[in-house]
Structure 1
Amino acid sequence: MIELAIDGGVWTATINRPDKANSLTGAMLADLADIAERAGPEGARALIITGAGRVFSAGADLDEAHAGLAVSPVWERLSGAIAALPCLTIAALNGTIAGGAMGMALACDLRISVAGAKVFYPVMRLGFLPQPSDVPRLVRLVGPARASMILMAGQKVDVTEAMAWGLIDRVVDANLLDVARGLVVDSVSAAPEHARSIKRMVWG
């Protein structure tokens, strides 16, 4: 369900459950968190997270969400591990991203997307709270009013509008993973400490 490919220091994690819109089970989230936690110590120079099929992720598997996954600490474990990485991290959105899956994208340094995708986080309608670190990360990117549009008004935001807001960094027509790999070239080619230092200067 989570596939990992490693090529020249570039780690690419793919959510591969397209028949279920890449909805995330607890086991899949744990696998993603394991990958993010391993990436730094094992020398990853970049981490790209993407999905198989036409949807990046519909968020939590609904059966597991209602059974407790919606409030599991594994979401924060995953986003925290991504945010803590010293290398460049990219969410390569192959399609719509929804719900708790937003957390891993918000924790990445960059978010790129195919055209036509949408971003939404229907916590108001579903009766769940967003993950604690997701809200400040979202507000930092788009401001409180636009965060309210997503979280409180439940709006599905097209990635073109999301790019204007600062939530998406680039909408691409070319092969998504080729674009993502192109974005990490300079960082992968630099000395690890140089990349680490610049990331620290950018994100604190």
Structure 2
Amino acid sequence: MIEVGKDGAAWVLRLNRPDKANSLTAEMLERLAETVEAAHEGARVLILTGTGKVFSAGADLEAARAGLATSPLWERLSCAIAAFPGLSIAALNGTCAGGAMGMMLACDLRIAVPGAKIFYPVMKLGFLPQPSDPARLAALAGPSRAKLILMGGQKIPVEEAQTWGLIDRIVAPEALMDTAADLSADTLAAPEDVARGIKALCG
């Protein structure tokens, strides 16, 4: 359900549970976190994507009822992505919802296919978001828009999210991974210390 592809220093993590809208179980979250942590030493580019028409619906419904919605695994994963010293790219093949937003928000770049939506219905479901997610969302889109999503419960089309700075580029589905590869090329070609240094300077 988590596929890891390695092309030299470029790693692709693909959610592959399309029959369940790529919803995440505890086992999937743990595998993602462990892989991203390993990528700190073995990769220079990390690309997150999914199979099918949804990037991820967030927590698997049955697992959420069993406590996954508030598991520290979400924070562990998003913090591992945020701390990745290379270039991280969320290549959203479709809608990104709930806790899966933490992965997207922690990435350096976010590209998406047309028609996808972004939403995080934690308040409606009676949960607090993971600790780092609201601040990352506000840093990208602004505090009011963060509240629009988290408190107003709005589903934001990626076309609108791009005008907020939440999505960096919208590309056709068939061009999604080629675009991610193009965005990775300079980082992979540069001396590793230069790429890491530029990322550190960007904050």
Question: How does the TM-score come out when normalised to structure 1?
Answer: 0.98
SS at match of 1:194: helix
SS at match of 1:85: coil
CA distance in 2, matches of 1:195, 1:91: 18
Match of 1:22 in 2: 22
1:10 aligns with 2:10: yes
CA distance in 2, matches of 1:47, 1:94: 16
Aligned residues: 202
Deviation by residue 1:33-69 (Cα, 9 ceiling, x = unmatched) = 0111000112x01000000000000000011111111
SS at match of 2:46: strand
SS at match of 1:47: strand
Match of 1:184 in 2: 184
CA distance in 2, matches of 1:169, 1:74: 27
Question: How does the TM-score come out when normalised to structure 2?
Answer: 0.98
Match of 1:132 in 2: 131
The gaps in structure 1 that reach 5 residues or longer are none
CA distance in 2, matches of 1:89, 1:36: 10
CA distance in 2, matches of 1:145, 1:196: 32
Match of 2:175 in 1: 175
Match of 1:106 in 2: 105
1:175, distance to aligned residue in structure 2 (A): 1.5
SS at match of 1:116: coil
CA distance in 1, matches of 2:104, 2:151: 19
The gaps in structure 2 that reach 5 residues or longer are none
Deviation by residue 1:126-174 (Cα, 9 ceiling, x = unmatched) = 1111000001000000111100110000000000000001100100125
Q: What letter corresponds to residue 28 of structure 1 in structure 2?
A: M
CA distance in 1, matches of 2:71, 2:116: 27
1:8, distance to aligned residue in structure 2 (A): 2.3
Instruction: Please identify, of 171-180 and 20-29, the stretch whose mean Cα deviation from structure 2 is larger.
Output: 171-180
Match of 1:146 in 2: 145
CA distance in 1, matches of 2:157, 2:169: 13
Deviation by residue 1:175-199 (Cα, 9 ceiling, x = unmatched) = 1001001100000100111111000
CA RMSD of aligned residues (A): 0.7
CA distance in 2, matches of 1:40, 1:97: 24
SS at match of 1:29: helix
SS at match of 2:52: coil
CA distance in 1, matches of 2:121, 2:40: 32
SS at match of 2:41: coil
SS at match of 2:37: helix
Match of 2:71 in 1: 72
Q: What letter corresponds to residue 113 of structure 2 in structure 1?
A: V
Match of 2:80 in 1: 81
Match of 1:155 in 2: 154
CA distance in 2, matches of 1:97, 1:85: 21
Q: What letter corresponds to residue 52 of structure 1 in structure 2?
A: T
1:106, distance to aligned residue in structure 2 (A): 0.3
1:200, distance to aligned residue in structure 2 (A): 0.3
